[in-house]
Amino acid sequence: MPIRNTLERWGSVAKFFHWAIVLLVVTQFFLALIAEGLPVGLQKLAVLARHKSVGITILVLATLRLLWRAANRTPEMPATMAVWEKTAARGAHALLYALLLAVPLAGWIMSSAKNFPVSWFGFFQLPDLVAPSETTFDIAHDAHEILAITLGVVATLHLLAALKHHFLNRDVVLKRMLPFARLPAVLAALLIMGPGAGEAFAAAPGTLAGSDTTGSLQFRFTQAGAATTGAFDKFTVTLMLAEDGTPTRLAVAIDASSLDTKDKDRDSALRTADLFDVKRFPQAHFAATRFKRIAHDRFEASGKLTIRDITREVTLPFTLTAHAGGNTPGSVIAGELAINRLDYGVGQGEWRSTEMVGNVVTVIWSVKLAPAP
C-alpha cells in the first residue's frame, strides 16, 4: 500500500492516523463514562489516569497527522459533489481537526487547574499548563465537556455522511479511506487462481478489437457546479490476450477532434489551443503492457496515457466480461477512470481555473470486442 496520498486515494499513513484516532476517541468516551459511574476513589483515579494518557496520545497523533497532511497532497472530492457539499465536508473536517486538539487541551488545562498533574501512562509527567485555580478548573471542565460532546455529534454526522457516500452516492469516498481495502479483491484473486482461472469470461486468445461502432467512450466533468457529460465519437480499442485469456496488451486510440458535448460552441472551444489543441495533438492514447487480475473478471492495466503532449503513468481498472446474446464470440471491456485535466495541460490561460470547469474528469467506457480480422 503506498505510504503517501495521491489525488485519488489516501496513503497508508493518513489511513493509520484516521483509524487509530477514531479507535482512541471511542475509547475516550467509554473511559469517561466508566469514570463517571465510579465513586471517588482509587479505581476512578486509575480510569481517569488512563483517560488522560489516551487523550494526550490523541493530541500527539492529531498534531502529527496535521503535519503529515500539510506535507502531502489530499485526494480530491468526487466531481459529482455539489459545491455546497464540498464546502460542508471541508468545514466538518476542519472542525474535527480543531476539536481533536481542543478537547485534550481543555482536559489538560482542567487537570492542571485542579492540581492533578498529568502523567503519560506513568512513563513521564507533563508540565502543568496553568496554575491551580478553581475558576479556571470550572471553565476548562465545562469547555472539555461541551467540546467533547460537539466532537461526538460532528463525528457521528461525519460517519453518516461517509455511509451516504458509499450506499447512496456509490462513490469511492468511504472505500478509499478503509484500511485493507484491497484485501477482499486479493482473496478473490487467490480463490480463482486455481483450475478454472481464465474461464471466467469467454475470451478467445489472440487479438480482440472494438471501436466507436461497438461501444461508447464518455467523459463526465463539472461545469458551473453541474455534472455534464460528453463523448468521443471516434476511437479504437485493441486488446491482446494470452493463451489462458489474460490480457497482455491494451491500446486505446482516441480522435481528439471527435469530442461531442452536444453543444457546437462548447465543442469548438474544447478543440482550441487552450484545451485539447486538436490541430497539434489530433490523437490521445493509452497503451499498457502490465496487467493485474483483481477478481475473476476485473483487471488493472498500468500504462501510459497521453493527452496533448503530456504522457503520464496511470492505472486503469477495467472489467472484461463475455457479452450476453449475439453470435459473435468476444467480450465487453468496460471501466471508469478519474483523471485531472490539468495534469495533461487541458486548460491553459484562463481555463486553468477550476472554478467553472472542474479539474476532475471521469472517463467512462464500455466497448464490445470481437476477434480482430
Residues at the contact surface with ligand HEM, assessed by CB under 6 A:
18, 21-22, 25, 28-29, 32, 36, 48, 51-52, 55-56, 58, 69, 74-75, 77, 93, 96-97, 100, 103-104, 107-108, 110-111, 118, 141, 144-145, 148, 151, 155, 158-159, 162, 173-174, 176-177
Residue 83 vs residues 178, 228, 287: alpha-carbon distances, Å: 25, 15, 35
Give least dist CB 277 to ligand HEM, A: 32
- CA 282/CA 269 separation, integer angstroms: 15
Give least dist CB 158 to ligand HEM, A: 5
Give least dist CB 294 to ligand HEM, A: 21
Give least dist CB 151 to ligand HEM, A: 6
User: Between residues 75 and 230, which has the closer beta carbon with respect to ligand HEM?
Assistant: 75
Beta bridge partners of 367: 215, 333
CB 111 within 8 A of CB 118: yes
User: Between residues 108 and 286, which has the closer beta carbon with respect to ligand HEM?
Assistant: 108
CB 103 within 8 A of CB 144: yes
Give least dist CB 291 to ligand HEM, A: 27
User: Between residues 167 and 325, which has the closer beta carbon with respect to ligand HEM?
Assistant: 167
Rg (Cα) of the chain, in Å, rounded? 27
User: Between residues 99 and 278, which has the closer beta carbon with respect to ligand HEM?
Assistant: 99
Give least dist CB 119 to ligand HEM, A: 9
The DSSP string of 16-33 is: HHHHHHHHHHHHHHHHHH
CB 228 within 8 A of CB 267: no
User: Between residues 110 and 256, which has the closer beta carbon with respect to ligand HEM?
Assistant: 110
User: Between residues 17 and 221, which has the closer beta carbon with respect to ligand HEM?
Assistant: 17
CB 228 within 8 A of CB 222: yes
Give least dist CB 248 to ligand HEM, A: 34
CB 248 within 8 A of CB 240: yes
Beta bridge partners of 211: 236
Residue 285 — φ and ψ, nearest 5°?
Answer: -150, 160
User: Between residues 7 and 295, which has the closer beta carbon with respect to ligand HEM?
Assistant: 7
**Which parts of the chain are beta strand (E)?**
119-120, 124-125, 206-211, 215-223, 226-232, 235-241, 247-255, 259-260, 283-295, 298-307, 310-322, 331-340, 360-371
